[in-house]
Structures are given as C-alpha cells and as structure tokens.
Amino acid sequence: MNQAVYVGTIGCHIHILIPDDLVTEVESIVIEVCKPSLNVVEWNPLTVDYDSETGITTLTYETIEGDLNEAGMYRIQPVVTMTDGDIWPLGVATWSVLARFEV
C-alpha cells in the first residue's frame, strides 16, 4: 500500500537501497534533493548501513520541518565522494508530494 505524502510532513522515513558497498573507501554521502521548483538541497543520511551478506547499502533519512515544503514531484539522488576524491552521483528516484487535502 502506498501512503500519500503531503506538504509539511515531518517524520517521513526514506530508505534508499543501493546494491554496493558504500562504507569502504567512501569519504561522504549526501542525498541531493531536487524540489518541484528545481531548487536543489542536500540531506545528510541519518544512517548508512552495509550488509555484507546481501551486498546492499541502506541509507535512511527522516524528513524534518521545511524538507517537504512544496507540492509536486521530488527527485532524490545519493552522491558519494570517495576517499580518492572521485564523486559518484547514483541513481535517481522520484516521488510526488501532494498539497494539503489533495487526493
């Protein structure tokens, strides 16, 4: 079941699964967010967990006040900076944030 996300939602849990080890030789990870206005902001993951059995890294984030302040399509893209200075933008995910009372 998909639950609607509305403008102003605080505490929306975001989980990003990445089929790679983003812990070893990684200096930093940010989640770049392109809002409907095309303004790009950065969110810092709360956790970055690598499961060596599955080979999957999970990034988690929980929205705070001001994160979801526009109605429309949001695009998120994790960006990894390696210890050697290389920067790797990863895949993009999109989701719609609805205006209050929109269905």
User: Is the CA virtual torsion 5, 8, 13, 16 positive or negative?
Assistant: positive
Q: What is the CATH number of the domain that holds 63?
A: 2.60.40
Is the Cβ–Cβ distance between 51 and 86 less than 8 Å? no
Looking at the structure of the chain, the number of domains it has is 1
Per-residue pLDDT of the chain (103 residues; tens, 9 = 90+): 357 899 999 999 999 998 887 777 888 999 999 999 999 999 999 999 988 899 899 999 999 999 999 999 999 999 999 989 999 999 999 999 999 888 7
The position carrying tokens 């969110």 is 43
| pLDDT (0 to 100) of residue 2 | 59
| pLDDT (0 to 100) of residue 22 | 78
Domain region containing 22:
13-97
| pLDDT (0 to 100) of residue 34 | 98
| pLDDT (0 to 100) of residue 1 | 35
> Tokens in use for 60?
């988690």
Asked whether residue 102 is assigned to any structural domain, the reply reads no
Q: Which ranges of the chain would DSSP assign to H, the alpha helix?
A: none
What are the helix and strand counts (H, E) for the chain?
A: 0, 8
Measured torsion, CA atoms of residues 12, 58, 49, 68, in degrees rounded to the nearest 10 = -30
pTM to 2 decimal places: 0.87
